Structure 1
Amino acid sequence: MNKILMIYASQTGNTELMAEAIAAFFEKNNCGITMKTFDFDPIDTEELTAYDAVLIGTHTWDDGDLPYEVEDFYEELEDVNIKNHLFAVFGSCDSFYDTYGGAIDLMGERLEELGAKVIKPWLKVDLEPGKDDIIACEKLAEQVMLHIGEKV
């Protein structure tokens, strides 16, 4: 069985709802997933390479910034060789701001700069995920499974 890691930060609970929908899809399809939050779990970037795929969920702070709890992880990514490792990026955004989902873009671009294989497009949801957004979360999980050779 393939191993998948999902790490997320959620201030209002919207990105957490997305993470839960993605995890439920993996579990429904008997795909093992480990979930961690930037807020409460120790995250060592060295462990990323022990997984077949890593999903990173983040909300966007202010006008396009990474949330405080994600900043150290973002910087520490350059200390680990993630070249050719599979990643997916997702999160809740607010279309009120000029920069829509800037933290998601920052994270995806950082992963690409470091040579990771990042599934595109990055999944952005405006505020609380609705029914169509949950379907998009499931489709992202399905793409991850297909990339690592899991049957859906």
Structure 2
Amino acid sequence: MATARIVYASMTGNNEEIAGIVEEELEKYGVTVTTTEVSQAMAEDFQTVDICIVATYTYSDVGDGVLPDEAVDFYEDLQELDLTGKVYGCCGSGDKFYDDFATSVDDFDHAFAATGATKGAPSVKIDLAPEDDDIAALEAFTKAIVEKQQSL
């Protein structure tokens, strides 16, 4: 049975909700899931699972999108890992009001790519809270990740 870890950063609760949706979908496929808030997680935890997922928000300060403060150490540690043989996915919320919409999702995608992990699905970026079409996108995201992990 496959295992997964979801690490999320959430200021408003949107990404906690996103992580919960992905967790429920993974469980439908029989995946054993652990979900952790980023300040309580260690990047090394990804070494013990088959599927690695990050759900993050982008902090916009004066129009510049940056990683959440609580995710910076995790992000830096992630880039030092060898996750060859693992499948990853990135998702998260942002606010389309800002020019740098959900850029932290892209930052984590690049960090995972540097670890040697295999991208399981295109990243999903959600404007604020997930709506019905966003939930469908997260369901497709999760399905693709599971299928990629099964094909390895």
Q: Decide: shared fold, TM above 0.5.
A: yes
Contact 2:121/2:141 (<8 A) preserved:
no
Contact 2:122/2:141 (<8 A) preserved:
no
Q: Give the CA deviation at 1:84.
A: 4.0
Deviations 1:101-128 (A, max 9, x none): 1111111112113322123421100111
Q: Structure 2 CA distance, aligned partners of 1:78 and 1:135?
A: 30
Structure 1 match to 2:89:
88
**Structure 1 letter corresponding to 2:22:** I
Structure 2 match to 1:4:
4
Q: Give percent identity, aligned residues only.
A: 30
- The question of 1:31 aligning with 2:49 is answered no
Q: Structure 1 CA distance, aligned partners of 2:29 and 2:42?
A: 27
Structure 1 unaligned runs (5+)? none
Secondary structure of the residue aligned to 2:59 is coil
More strand by share: 2
Structure 2 match to 1:54:
52
Aligned length: 148
After superposing the two structures, state which structure 1 stretch, 19-28 or 8-17, moved more: 19-28
Structure 2 match to 1:142:
143
Structure 1 match to 2:18:
18
After superposing the two structures, state which structure 1 stretch, 51-60 or 28-37, moved more: 28-37
Kindly tell me: are residues 59 and 135 of structure 1, through their superposed partners in 2, closer, same or farther at Cα, counting changes over 3 Å? same
Q: Give the CA deviation at 1:27.
A: 2.1
Structure 2 match to 1:119:
120
Q: Structure 1 CA distance, aligned partners of 2:116 and 2:26?
A: 25
Runs of 4+ in 1 over 3 A off after TM superposition: none
Kindly tell me: are residues 131 and 83 of structure 1, through their superposed partners in 2, closer, same or farther at Cα, counting changes over 3 Å? same
Secondary structure of the residue aligned to 1:49 is helix
- The alignment's TM-score, normalised by the length of structure 1, stands at 0.90
Q: Give the CA deviation at 1:82.
A: 1.7
